[in-house]
Amino acid sequence: MFTDMVGYSALAQRDDELALELLEEHRRLLREIFPRFHGTEVKTIGDGFLVEFHSALEAAECAIEIQHALSKRNADVPLERRIEIKIGVHIGDVVHRNGDVYGDGVNIASRIEPLAGAGGICVSMDVERQIRNTLEARFEKLAPTELKNISIPMDLFRIILPWEDRAPIVAQPETESIRASRKFLWAAVALCFALMIGVGGWWSERPDKIVTSPAATTDSNAAAEIPAKSIAVLPFENLSRDPDNAYFVEGIQDEILTRLSKIADLKVISRTSTQKYKSAPDNLRDVARQLGVANILEGSVQRANDKVRVNVQLINALTDAHLWADTYDRHLTDIFAVESEIAKTIAETLQARLTGSERAMIAAQPTSDTTAYELYHKGRSLWEKRSGDNLPKAIAFYERAIARDPQYALAYAGLANSYVLLPLYFSVPQRDAMAKAREAALKALEIDPNLAEAHNALGKILNFDDLDLVGAEWEFQRAIELQPNNATAHQWYGNGPLDSLGRFDEAIAETKRAVELDPLSPIINTDRAYPLYYAGRYDEALAQAKKTIELDPGFFYSRQILGMVLQAKGDLPGAISEFEKARQLSGDPLHWALLAVAKAKMGDKNIAQQVLVELDKVNPGRQGLAYDRALVYLAIGNKEEALRWLEHSYADRDGANLSWINVEPILDPLRGEPRFEALVQKVIASKSEPNP
């Protein structure tokens, strides 16, 4: 907090003796008040004070008490003997050295103080956000202000003091919290009237009603369903000058999130859905509603040599209440302890129940090598993108992390998850990729048997490479048990063994949970549509597929499922259009086969031969070619060849396609054929012993 006497220099020129008298009285009065609010006087600067407090609330309460005391004093003295001061308050980082304090926190507070005006208190947005729901005061937002030597314009607020003779506050700009409070009050009043006297006509005619449309009602209901123990960790701001530190900063955000995701009593949003938002967005409430959470963690990271500073603040975004904030100044090697401490404090603040095993997992240190840590997070960031050559690049980073720390279990799990997906996006032989994936997953579990990411990878390997649905189910269940907020585990479990075995209600529930945890992920939203499609709930599948395309119009996988749903509903032109778009976006041979199915149904007699020629041009190591050929032959009614190629697909262990043989509507013409039914039983009856 900075204070400054108004008009002292001019008074000293006119009446030096009176100026000194009032200066001493002013200092005695303020020094009596500071300790009552745990304020520590750092120093006097001419006719002003620099004071440090334990909290923003105590600083604001002290400022109000000072102005109140001076207001009472000035009421009984002549104009020339009045003492008026300006006060500025900011919360921020400071450095203590030789009895003084330095840093941006001090600089900004000093720039804010002159804007307060005589007898006024000016606070930064950071302070206003922390005290708005705990301080009995009103706030007036000032116009965005550029402060001297501060590069970014700041939102500032003036505290309206009860004794001030000012214009009615309704004429002034209002804060978001005041507007929200007013809306909440009107909604509550309206609801009470509607319940007590049923005045539906009056309610529908009210000009200031809150609910104005079905969409608004849905929004309100959605907000009401948001669990209190839910959180999104937004991207941390990189305060380091070196842009190469971006991955390090990303890693801190991801590690905190990963630790939180192991807590069953919390709902934690995946990083892929939070990455679209910037650090400390202005519209926190909108962000929270879009992500389906009540709480937001914001943060920043500054790294210099072997030191790192992490600032975090936890906010209830639906009420704008500031729940907790802290700054951690540590050596680089202590970063894992900081991440664990932050996760633990968040859990305690949100009153989440923590089991003993959860406490141990969030306190675990994945590696002691900070370079390996950065390499791992570079790989993870690329793995999440999926597109382009990101998967091979991710594999390279994981391998470098392992070279730095051969006991880094998470890096092995990342390697496994990358190799699992590689055949789906590149012309890489499935058998080779899956062998490497299995080796990496088992190595990760050898180092850490309780690593959810490794169990999840192994589940996918058993599903896709071994056609072992029962073994895959066990691994996915174990992954979810260890990391309840792992959206990918719910996704792969739902659109994997569950829908393959025809357990549609469970599959739909798991993919729904995956979307709740990662609501903006195109791949997870797409996989939400598949169990609906397999269950014959085509209208719901159609709506989900269209929603996914709104998220990412260029994602081929969502075009693929949309085409399949349209075909199942009988819209063959629509299906052909989507399959064409998917083919152009990905080049996957499967889309040629799907085109053949749709066009053959429309009477195109030449399409099958054309597609078979195209399939012959594809790298023979490409996953799924036997299955693709089976679909083409089935499209022209050649069941014998279709069955032969399906059996070939089974011999290739092509679980990425064949796992759904029991439920895929396109294969319905083969149902009842003895060879086909025997093949179905081979796929769905596979069993294995669970991984120890």
**DSSP letters along 282-312, please?**
S-HHHHHHHHT-SEEEEEEEEEETTEEEEEE
Distance CA 134, CA 140 (A): 16
Please report the pLDDT score of residue 409 as a whole number. 96
Q: Coil, strand, or helix at residue 154?
A: strand
Query: Which two tokens mark 503?
Result: 């357990």
Residue 210's pLDDT is 29
Place of tokens 């013409």: 669
Residues in the chain: 692
Helices 335-349 and 246-260 sit at what angle, rounded to 10 degrees?
40
The pLDDT assigned to 204 comes to: 32
| The pLDDT of residue 212 | 32
Q: 393 CB contacts (<8 Å, ≥6 apart)?
A: 379, 382
| Radius of gyration of the CA atoms of the chain, in A | 32
Domain definitions of the chain by residue range: 2-173, 177-212, 230-365
Q: What DSSP assignment string belongs to 446-511?
A: HH-TT-HHHHHHHHHHHHHTS--HHHHHHHHHHHHHH-TT-HHHHHHHIIIIIHHTT-HHHHHHHH
CA atoms of 440 and 416, how far apart (whole Å)? 5
Helix, strand, coil % over all residues of the chain, rounded to 5? 60, 10, 30
| Residue 338: partners with Cβ closer than 8 Å, 6 or more residues away | 252, 308, 310, 328, 330
User: What is the model's pLDDT at position 451?
Assistant: 95
What local confidence, expressed as pLDDT, does residue 163 receive? Answer: 67
Q: What sign results for the dihedral spanned by CA atoms 599, 600, 604, 608?
A: positive
Judge whether 469 and 684 are in contact, CB under 8 Å: yes
Please name which of 619, 618, 644 lies closest in space to residue 630, comparing C-alpha atoms: 644
Residue 144 amino acid letter: P
Token representation of residue 153: 């314009």
How far apart CA 217 and CA 223 sit, in angstroms, is 10
Task: Pull the structure tokens for residue 268.
Answer: 């934690």
pTM: 0.69
Q: Which residue, chain included where needed, has tokens 């100026």? A: 19
Q: Which residue has the tokens 């001090």?
A: 106
CB 652 within 8 A of CB 464: no
Most distant pair of Cα atoms in the chain: their distance: 111
- For the chain, what is the total number of helices (H) and then of strands (E)? 32, 15
* Contact assessment for residue 656 and residue 624, using Cβ atoms and an 8 Å cutoff: yes
> Residues 87, 63: contact at Cβ < 8 Å?
yes
The C-alpha atoms of residue 340 and residue 511 are separated, in whole angstroms, by 29
pLDDT at position 145 = 63
* Cβ pair 548, 555 in contact under 8 A: yes
Burial (CB count within 10 angstroms: exposed 0-12, middle 13-18, buried 19+), residue 115: middle
- The answer to whether 38 touches 132, Cβ cutoff 8 Å, is no
Q: For residue 379, which of 525, 254, 524, 540 has the smallest C-alpha distance?
A: 254
Write down the pLDDT at residue 381: 85
Tokens (6 digits) for 545:
């597929």
Residue 85: the pLDDT is 93
pLDDT of residue 435: 94
Rounded mean pLDDT for each run of 10 residues along the chain, 692 residues in total: 86 83 91 90 86 89 92 86 92 75 76 86 86 78 66 76 49 37 40 37 31 36 74 90 79 91 94 82 86 93 87 90 88 89 94 90 89 91 79 94 96 95 80 93 96 95 92 95 95 95 95 96 95 97 95 91 96 95 88 94 90 87 88 95 95 90 96 95 68 43
CB atoms within 10 A of CB 100: 12
**The pLDDT value given to residue 293:** 95
End-to-end CA distance of the chain: 60
**Cα 71 to Cα 591: distance, rounded to the nearest angstrom:** 78
* Domain 230-365: top CATH class: alpha beta
Pick the CATH number of 2-173 from 3.40.640.10, 3.30.70.1230, 3.40.250.10, 3.40.50.300: 3.30.70.1230
What is the rounded distance in angstroms from the CA atom of residue 322 to the CA atom of residue 124?
Answer: 14
Return the H-helix or E-strand segment holding 644: helix 639-651
pLDDT the model gives residue 153 = 65
CB 259 within 8 A of CB 340: yes
Rounded distance between C-alpha atoms, residue 302 and residue 328, angstroms:
10
Q: What is the signed CA dihedral for 672, 678, 681, 687, rounded to 10 degrees?
A: 180
Instruction: State the number of CA atoms in the 13 A half-sphere of 156 facing the CB.
Output: 26
**Is residue 304 a contact partner of residue 240, using CB atoms and an 8 Å limit?**
yes
